[in-house]
Amino acid sequence: MSSAPDSPAAKVSILWATTDHAARIAQLHGQLFDEAWSEKFIRDLNHDPACSLLLAADGRPDRIVGFVITRVVSDEAEILSIGVAQPYQRFGVGKRLVEAALRVMANSEVENVYLEVAADNKAAQALYRGVGFNQTGVRKDYYKRPDGGTSDALILAVAPTTGTQ
């Protein structure tokens, strides 16, 4: 999905994140997820040579509107977290982040990329399936909800070089 010139995502660029971006990424993570990651945790991931952090910036590198965090171990990788600020959702920013992450992992000679997505998050599932991910498993009651409920985690995988599992 490309963004129209007047869409919120029209000026969004995908860039490498640095430790200077950790506070804003942590803030955005906290807005999007029930269990927020701390600035220190984001910084630690950014210092980990197995991890890559990409961000979506709207016009300037300090206007972070999205992020994707990945980790490579041997010939496998995982998307640890991805998020897009609400006003930028459904304009292709998430897809651009996933595609950029897959290109990075393909260059690392990764054979499969995995991620977990809540079974009740249909929008995210559509995004991942749209770039070639397929379900490989389920983790029952993986996500704990603030209301005390749970949601299963669907385990999805894709081969980054071909776009198929």
Handedness of CA 39, 76, 117, 16 (dihedral sign): positive
Q: Active site residue: 99, 128, 142, 143, which one?
A: 128
Q: Which residues pair with 69 in a beta bridge?
A: 53, 81
Q: Which residues pair with 70 in a beta bridge?
A: 52, 79
Contact in structure between 56 and 49 (CB atoms under 8 Å): no
Contact in structure between 94 and 123 (CB atoms under 8 Å): no
Max CA distance (Å), the chain: 42
Whether 128 is catalytic is: yes
Whether 88 is catalytic is: no
Q: Active site residue: 39, 78, 116, 143, which one?
A: 116
Catalytic residue annotation: 116, 128
